[in-house]
């Protein structure tokens, strides 16, 4: 269980997505003067040497920070992240790559609190030493140190959320990034976030996860969409087509609960560039989904496709039919002996933008090609609304009598 060492994977395409998004979350949190608490449930070592044995053995940084190192025409939103990486390599040679604790230390203010957790005994020692060196460097530069505002604990970050939430300032940014070595990690993430939201609903929670062929990975985003957060955003980056053996990490995602309202538009301007630079073949792509807690589940929809179709709790029982039938707002009432009027169909479950500018839409398994709209006016490709029982449907709904017996439905359970 403790065999995972992130040093073998530092700086890969998944790290680029994770830390780029993390930088943007810190920038958003920094807009208010009130201090906040940053909680990292799986901190790792904090800093990684790209010329170490572990990093050179896999060379995964060539799939991520490597192609971006000398890039000059980068989107504006990527610059703070790249400036941070270049700042820890003042010689101009790419030798070091930051972990999430280093990103937090550099992007947060001195009055903000950092709470860092790591279970691996070797990595927690390295993390403590790296934090000590950072504090010593500040002292040499005549800067005020964080002191006790940084706490490192050799322990389970999942369990630690219970004692840290709600934070004293009522502002928190939580990063959850377990190894996902065992399938239980997926359930632990979901359960920990559900409890955290119960303790502190206003917190911002960011979850990194691998996109793999195993069932737990495929179902994971949909289970996170059912958490009781006001809003959510899910972004994935795929750099190549997965091989038939399913080995290797080709895609990853960041799922943010209570995301900044500015994040979606920024991602739509930046993700096509990452696909273009990091993509290895025609399978390279990205997806962005957003939704709200309207139904307690995924309630996202495609923007710009016309009038909003009623979803989730907009679907209600008719008091006049006498049989508990369901109808959508705007539908005529179905009376005995009459045919049901069809609901407005909802199509376009997802749009995927490719580096060549084409856009592929999926609805009920059928795709429809097109051109990506200009970035300035781009709107979100979002998942189709679910039925009240949690299953997805892209076809029209019809009113009719409710089947006898209890209704089905309910919340679902539940590193590379």
Three-state DSSP at 358 gives strand
Both tokens of 94, joined, read 């790419």
Question: Quick check: 97 and 14 in contact, CB under 8 A?
Answer: no
For residue 248, give Cα distances in angstroms to 4, 291, 416. 15, 30, 9
Question: Quick check: 112 and 311 in contact, CB under 8 A?
Answer: no
**Which residue bears the tokens 């957060």?**
229
Number of neighbouring beta carbons within 10 Å of residue 306:
7
**How many residues are given for the chain?**
416
Radius of gyration of the chain (CA): 23
* Residue 4, phi then psi, degrees to nearest 5: -70, 130
Active site residues: 177
Question: Considering only CA atoms, which of 203, 199, 200 is closest in space to residue 175?
Answer: 203
- Max Cα–Cα distance, the chain, nearest Å: 85
Alpha carbon distance 119, 108 (integer Å) = 24
Three-state DSSP at 342 gives strand
Please state at what angle helix 184-199 crosses helix 215-225, rounded to 10 degrees. 10
Within 10-120, residue ranges assigned H as helices are 13-29, 53-58, 65-68, 79-87, 100-107
Three-state DSSP at 113 gives strand
Both tokens of 201, joined, read 């609903």
Burial 169-179 (b: 16+ CB within 10 A, else e): eebbbbbbbbb
Three-state DSSP at 169 gives coil
Alpha carbon distance 170, 376 (integer Å) = 34
* Residue 228, phi then psi, degrees to nearest 5: -80, 55
Q: Determine the distance from the C-alpha atom of residue 199 to the mean position of all C-alpha atoms in its chain, rounded to a whole number.
A: 21
């Amino acid at each position: 269980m403790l065999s995972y060492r992130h040093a073998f994977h530092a700086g890969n395409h998944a790290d680029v997505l994770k830390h780029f998004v993390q930088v943007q979350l810190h920038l958003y949190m920094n807009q208010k003067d009130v201090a906040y608490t940053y909680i990292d449930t799986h901190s790792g070592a904090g800093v990684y040497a790209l010329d170490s044995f572990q990093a050179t053995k896999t060379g995964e940084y060539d799939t991520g920070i490597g192609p971006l190192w000398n890039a000059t025409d980068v989107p504006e939103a990527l610059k703070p992240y790249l400036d941070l990486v270049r700042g820890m390599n003042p010689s101009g040679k790419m030798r070091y790559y930051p972990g999430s604790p280093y990103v937090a230390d550099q992007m947060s203010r001195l009055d903000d609190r950092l709470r860092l957790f790591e279970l691996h005994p070797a990595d927690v020692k390295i993390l403590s030493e790296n934090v000590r060196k950072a504090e010593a460097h500040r002292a040499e530069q005549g800067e005020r140190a964080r002191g006790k505002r940084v706490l490192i604990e050799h322990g389970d970050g999942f369990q630690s959320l219970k004692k840290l939430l709600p934070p004293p300032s009522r502002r928190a940014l939580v990063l959850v990034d377990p190894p996902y070595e065992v399938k239980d990690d997926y359930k632990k993430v979901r359960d920990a976030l559900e409890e955290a939201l119960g303790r502190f609903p206003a917190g911002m929670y960011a979850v990194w996860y691998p996109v793999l062929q195993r069932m737990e990975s495929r179902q994971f985003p949909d289970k996170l969409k059912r958490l009781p957060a006001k809003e959510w955003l899910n972004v994935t980056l795929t750099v190549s087509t997965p091989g038939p053996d399913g080995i290797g990490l080709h895609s990853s995602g960041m799922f943010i609960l209570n995301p900044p309202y500015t994040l979606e538009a920024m991602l739509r301007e930046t993700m096509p560039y990452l696909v273009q630079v990091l993509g290895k073949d025609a399978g390279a792509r990205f997806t962005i989904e957003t939704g709200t807690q309207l139904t307690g589940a995924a309630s996202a929809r495609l923007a710009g496709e016309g009038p909003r179709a009623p979803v989730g709790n907009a679907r209600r029982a008719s008091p006049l039919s006498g049989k508990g039938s369901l109808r959508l707002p705007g539908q005529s009432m179905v009376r005995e002996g009459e045919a049901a009027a069809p609901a407005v169909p909802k199509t376009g479950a997802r749009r995927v933008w490719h580096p060549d500018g084409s856009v592929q839409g999926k609805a009920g398994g059928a795709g429809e090609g097109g051109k990506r709209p200009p970035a300035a006016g781009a709107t979100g490709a979002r998942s189709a609304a679910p039925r009240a029982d949690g299953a997805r449907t892209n076809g029209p709904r019809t009113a009719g009598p409710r089947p006898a017996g209890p209704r089905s439905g309910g919340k679902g359970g539940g590193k590379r």
